[in-house]
Structure 1
Amino acid sequence: MIYKNIIGVDISKSDLDIASMKSVKGYQMYKSINNKTQILQCFKRILKKEKLKKEDVLVVAERTGIYTNPLLWSLVEEGYNLWIECPNQIHASKGFSRGKNDKKDARMIAEYGYRHQDKVKLCELTDDNLVSLQYLQSERELLKREEAKFKAQITDHKGYVKKGDYDSRKKRYTSILVEIKTSLKEIEKEIKDIIKSDTKLKHIMTLLLSVRGVGQVIATDVLISTQAFTKFTTARAYSAHVGVAPFQYTSGSSIRSRNKVSKRANKRIKRNLHMGVNSVIQAGGNFEKYYNRKLKEGKEKMVVINALRAKLIHIMFSVVQNNRKYSEEHVATWT
């Protein structure tokens, strides 16, 4: 669909800079406070002043984490065409530029929307339970990182500072670690309760947990990051997102690099998949057979493990898309 008017929005914590695109070089600038009521009032003024209909307007913005939510809640609920794009995608397409300010960024976003209308993916409101799970998961990861820091301090300093100083620090850090563990237990309970209360999410979790090597952490990660398997429709696309899909790197006759994975990846999920694959290999079965066969063929260990990480993703997508639990009786032709 070709939109008659493109509006670019640069989002910050406190306010929005809005650029309504009249032509490739003509813009009308607006400003709004970043809350639901003010955003709606601002866009109503824009439509009235410029005599536009919201079905003819495309609003483009960068994803900026939680600061995007007021724009998402206000516009999608009112039926606006909202496209929230990855900021890396927008900045990679802008070419060479000097200087930076919010108004300039809003115009750049509007121009990106104008030039890439064929790539538009309109936003829909995510299920409330999935939003809560994502928020809890981010808190869990934050606490996990803090827990690792305090544990490292206790371990690394022993024997290298005065005993009295060390003991007093250890006492303080141990009490903090107790609080962190209590909070982690509360978060994990909340996550489980939300999943149990939602029939769809509970069913998907049951399917995922039927796969060997997929525990509660991996299953929850995959459920949230795929938005209950609606954000990614293929295992290959999700493998690329996680960073286990190999890509070709060649140019003419001079550059002939071997296929390798991209560093643009969700490394936390990739790390968890790595541990899941290792546990399945040690338990024996199809993964162990494949692993040993490839090593005998001369493949590098990490290349084989990466292939098994991708295989695990394909199995998870398969059980969900076929709505059937994983069965060990299934004969795997890839081993």
Structure 2
Amino acid sequence: MKNFKETLGIDLSKVTLDAYLHSRKAYQQFENNEEGFKAMLTWARIEGKVKSAELLICFEHTGLYGMKLATFLEKKKRSYCMVPSIEIKRSLGMVRGKDDRVDAMRIAQYAHLRRESIKETRLPSKLLQKMKQLIALREKMVVQRAGYYTQLGELKRVYKKGENPPLFTIQEKLVAELTKAIAIVENEIIDLINGDAEVVFKSLKALGYYD
């Protein structure tokens, strides 16, 4: 059994991560991407005054965003647990309204209370590999689409409406196609999670959340 000296609760959203260290009562917000994940781990280690092995990371199972963070933590071999949101509500009670900082604090508190008995989440290797590939593909297309958005914005500043239409129409079509492709990949990720639900939640069951 690991000796966790600090717990880090994370409230996930599409754009940001709200992180809270239980013992240090420290809060910080990060971007929800790989650079944000790296910055968060560095902050938690320094602010929490703990070694990586002494930190338990906890967050709700939120589908795409949760799996993205989980694959990163798996790669870094960090201790973490994904918890169904209903379990945290059932354990700590309901809270009115939505406050990301409070939610992160409650998740950290939940993990702290169970730090001596909680079992870490581990994704099955096959699922992890597929998830990594799909997430990498999605991120690549998101970057490509952003590039076309930027180019279109620059063109609008240079050309008047109706001038050089191919420059606009071709790139607008590319943006539309990339948007469709991104949605397809996101659905594939969700289907992968749902299709392998028994495997994905196997470790969660081991935590005692399901009878």
TM-score scaled to structure 2, two decimals?
A: 0.59
Letter in 2 for 1:63: H
Choose which of 42, 47, 50 in structure 2 pairs with 1:49: 47
Instruction: Specify which structure has the bigger relative contact order, considering alpha-carbon pairs within 8 angstroms and separated by 6 or more residues.
Output: 2
- The Cα of 1:88 is off from its aligned counterpart by 0.7
Take 1:229 and 1:45, find their aligned partners in 2: how far apart are those partners?
29
After superposition, the Cα gap between the structure-2 partners of 1:130 and 1:226, relative to the gap in structure 1 and judged at 3 Å, is: farther
Cα distance in structure 1, aligned partners of 2:17 and 2:70: 13
Cα deviation per residue 1:111-148 (whole Å; 9 max; x = unaligned)?
11111224422122332457749xx9xxxxxxxxxxxx
**4+ residue segments displaced more than 6 Å:** 220-223
- 220, 225, 245: which one aligns with 2:197: 225
For residues 173-322 of structure 1, the aligned pairs below 5 Å read: 224-227=196-199
- Is the contact between residue 71 and residue 128 of structure 2 (CA under 8 Å) also seen in structure 1? no
Distance 1:116 1:49, change over 3 A: closer
Q: CA RMSD in A?
A: 3.6
Tell me, yes or no, if structure 1 residue 71 matches structure 2 residue 69: yes
2:85 aligned residue: 87
Rounded Cα–Cα distance in structure 2 between residues aligned with 1:229 and 1:9: 19
- Percent of paired sites with the same residue: 25
Alpha-carbon distance in structure 1 between the residues aligned to 2:32 and 2:94:
29
Aligned to 1:102: 100
> How many angstroms does 1:95 deviate by?
2.1
Give, as a single letter, the amino acid of the residue that structure 1 aligns with 2:197.
Answer: S
Where 1:43 maps in the other structure, the secondary structure is: helix
Counterparts in 2 of 1:130 and 1:227: CA distance versus 1, 3 Å: farther
CA-to-aligned-CA distance 1:221-259 (integer Å, 9 cap, x gap): 99823329965999xx9xx78xxxxxxxxxxxxxxxxxx
Q: Which residue matches 1:12?
A: 13
Could you list the runs of 5+ residues in structure 2 that have no partner in the other structure?
135-187
Q: Which residue does 1:177 correspond to in 2?
A: none
Shift of 1:99: 3.3
Distance 1:131 1:20, change over 3 A: same
* Partner residue in 2 for 1:112: 110
Q: C-alpha separation between the residues in 1 aligned to 2:194 and 2:105?
A: 36
Question: Structure 1 residues 48 and 36, CA, compared in 2 at 3 Å: closer, same or farther?
Answer: same
Cα deviation, residue 75, structure 1: 1.9
Structure 1 residue ranges without an equivalent (≥5)? 137-189, 191-219, 242-335
Computing the radius of gyration over CA atoms, which structure comes out larger, 1 or 2?
Answer: 1
**Structure 1 residue 21: Cα displacement:** 1.1
| Corresponding residue pairs, total | 150
Counterpart in the other structure of 2:179: none
What letter corresponds to residue 196 of structure 2 in structure 1?
I
Cα deviations across residues 160-215 of structure 1 (Å, max 9, x unaligned)? xxxxxxxxxxxxxxxxxxxxxxxxxxxxxx9xxxxxxxxxxxxxxxxxxxxxxxxx
2:37 corresponds to: 39
Distance across 1 between alignment mates of 2:25 and 2:79: 19
8 Å CA contact 2:16, 2:30 repeated in 1: yes
Q: In structure 2, how many angstroms separate the alpha carbons of the residues matched to 1:91 and 1:119?
A: 19
Which SS does the other structure have where 1:227 is aligned?
helix
